[in-house]
Structure 1
Amino acid sequence: MVAFDQKRGAWLSVEEVRWDHEEFAVYVWRSVRKKGDTKTVKSRRTLKLPARAVKALRLLREKQDEVRADAVNSPIVGGLVFRIKTGTALTATNVRRDFRKVLKSASLIDREWTPRELRHSFVSLLSDSGVPIEDISRLVGHANTVVTETVYRFQLRPVLLEGAKAMDAIFREHA
């Protein structure tokens, strides 16, 4: 994760510049794929984090720092925010297990969901909020809009709402 350092005018590692910044981003330059690389070179991107995510990450990091300060000979070292109890990086298995716990606590059927569903939800929410499909494609690392539109984007509201809105506007003007 990186933070924008106003003094230096650059994005720098959070480990280097700490959490006392307003803007943060994540590098999406590596993958869980066998060789650790993204699917394509165009998939590589840096995404600025929304303020709500930064706030949640800060709170998580503060709790982790408190636990580390209270523990004698704490094995937790390094700058990982998402990690297992020993401080090492999460594996795909860890992520899926914890994701299922969240789903169960939300009263959702855990076997019907995977972490990948969050990608579909991200695309659908942005699309439904009026973000241009070209921007969404770039955010998720697609080379063009075809896969974004046909595989990832689901309409959250029925398209028929647009017709009703238009008719209301037309008839209001002539009333």
Structure 2
Amino acid sequence: MKLWHGGRRLHWPVEIRPASADRAQAGPGFYLTNRYERACQYSRGGGTTYIVDFKKDITLSSDVSIPVDEVLRFMDGVSRIPNRKALRKDLEFNIITGDRHKEIIAEHVINLFVNHDACRGKAYVELAEFMTEQGADASIQRISAREEWLVVHNPRVVSNIAPVRAADVNLEERELPLPSEFLADKALTPGM
């Protein structure tokens, strides 16, 4: 799978850096899109457009359940979480009760942090690390019928990053396959 990224400070290996709440609308991580034009918008003002390749299967946050006790331990370990009490209350409301223990989908944890304006600064980086530890490599954010963002929490799934000049982008590369289509195809293909 290849996707686009536009920005100013991209280094190899990829590193998740603190972000302000207005730059974390889809949760913590490294943001990629299937649309070249969107990447160009984010590269304006002296930035660069990059093509990004992945080296392994990607587990989405929507496919990972986390024991609530683990989430609460994580929250207690992060020193500065805005709206901590309201976040904790909503977390308890969103619990899935199973036969053995209470769990919550990783994607829901991310949404709770974003919705409570708690996904910023140090908590942004720590939430990405926590998602990676729990096995959630990335999340998909649908922007429109023809655009999705892949928000990579686990930078180790990236195998290569290459800057691309506008003159080198052909018509077929301007709109790459949606991440959800690629990941669905990969799940259905034996041996991949």
Higher strand share: 2
- TM class by shorter-chain length? under 0.3
Structure with bigger RCO (C-alpha 8 Å, 6+ apart): 2
TM-score computed with the length of structure 1 as normaliser: 0.25
